[in-house]
Amino acid sequence: MLEKTGVATPEEIEKVFPSEERLKKGPVVIVECFREIPCNPCYTACNQNAIKEFIDINDLPNVDHDNCNGCGLCISKCPGLAIRVLDMTWSDEEAMVRIPYEFLPLPVAGDIVDGLDREGNKLVDVRVEKVQNSKMMDKTPVLWLAVKKAFAKEVVFMKPQPRKDTRADETIVCRCSDVTLGDIRQMVEDGYTTVDEIKRLTRAGMGPCQGKTCGQIILREISMMTGKSMEELTLGTYRPPIKSVKLGEIAKTAERGEES
């Protein structure tokens, strides 16, 4: 029972599910909202008149699947994250399931991830086909998941699989100060998400090369792990000198009285 478990029963799901006939026609919305709460952004988001105007704001969404063109505008607007779009016509073997996903790191197209059911059980491996993360989605990105047709109606969420990275954690990122990829990832995982912070804590970028080797690698790791684009990140603060200089050379200049 939904109220006891938080998981909808097959009967409840059947009530909101598009007909087989409609599923055969292409992408269509599925709104798993089973309890009247004061909320109507799904109606506001829909410009196909597929989610009908609410007479009372507490009404359940009234969905006309025949009007839905599967545009998916409503997916990231639902505060309850209760909306997904299912396309059973995607290919011969696979259906496309579009779900809202508010977790970092975001997957990238091509990733194989765990397809989960309503209780979080893994049903099947699914492939991330596309990641939509526009400004309009306001931090509720939409994932396009290619799912084997037999599982497509039951896959409602996904979990990344442990990263099979061929690069060992011992891979050296900063040669000057012996900082490894594992060190950098640990830093980002602990919440240090700028080059400056990582520099101060690991000394990466403070050696003879002054970050020429490690800077870009660290930036890419931060970008991948936080989901921020490279444009949003910076290489940190530059201060003189830009390369290592012998103290003696500076001292000689001073001795010659050229310090000013």
Partner 1 sequence: MKTADILVIGGGPAGLCATLNAAEMGAKVLLVERDDALGGQLVKQTHMFFGSEKQYASTRGIDIGKLLIEKIGTFENVEVMKETTVIGIYEDGVVTLEERHGGYLKVKPESIIVTTGASEKFLGFPNNDLPGIYGAGAVQTLMNVYGVKPGNNVLMVGAGNIGLIVSYQLTQAGVNVAGIVEAAPKIGGYLVHASKVRRMGIPIYTSHTVKQAHGSDRLTGVTMIQLDEKWQQVPGTEKEIEVDVLCISVGLSPLSELLHQAGCEIKYVASLSGFVPVRDENMMTTQEGIFVAGDVGGIEEASSAMVEGYLAGLSAAEWLGYSSDTLTERKTDLKEQLRSLRSGPEGARIRQGIEQITRQAPGNASRKGQAMAAVPGK
| Binding residues vs partner 1 (CB under 8 A) | 2-8, 32-41, 44-45, 56-59, 77-82, 102-104, 116-121, 138-140, 156-157, 159, 189, 191
Contact 59, 52 (CB under 8 A): no
Q: Between residues 7 and 251, which has the closer beta carbon with respect to partner 1?
A: 7
Name the minimum Å distance from CB 157 to partner 1.
4
Query: Number of C-alpha atoms within 13 angstroms, CB side, residue 128?
Result: 23
Residues 249 and 226: their CA atoms lie apart, in Å, by 43
Q: Between residues 46 and 176, which has the closer beta carbon with respect to partner 1?
A: 46
Name the minimum Å distance from CB 115 to partner 1.
11
Name the minimum Å distance from CB 117 to partner 1.
7
Report the first-to-last Cα separation within the chain, whole angstroms: 81
Query: What amino acid is encoded at 116 in this protein?
Result: L
Q: Between residues 33 and 124, which has the closer beta carbon with respect to partner 1?
A: 33
Q: Between residues 59 and 148, which has the closer beta carbon with respect to partner 1?
A: 59
Residues 173 and 179: their CA atoms lie apart, in Å, by 6
Closest CA to 174 of 192, 150, 201: 201
Closest CA to 100 of 111, 85, 89: 85
Q: Between residues 77 and 199, which has the closer beta carbon with respect to partner 1?
A: 77
Name the minimum Å distance from CB 137 to partner 1.
11
Name the minimum Å distance from CB 103 to partner 1.
6
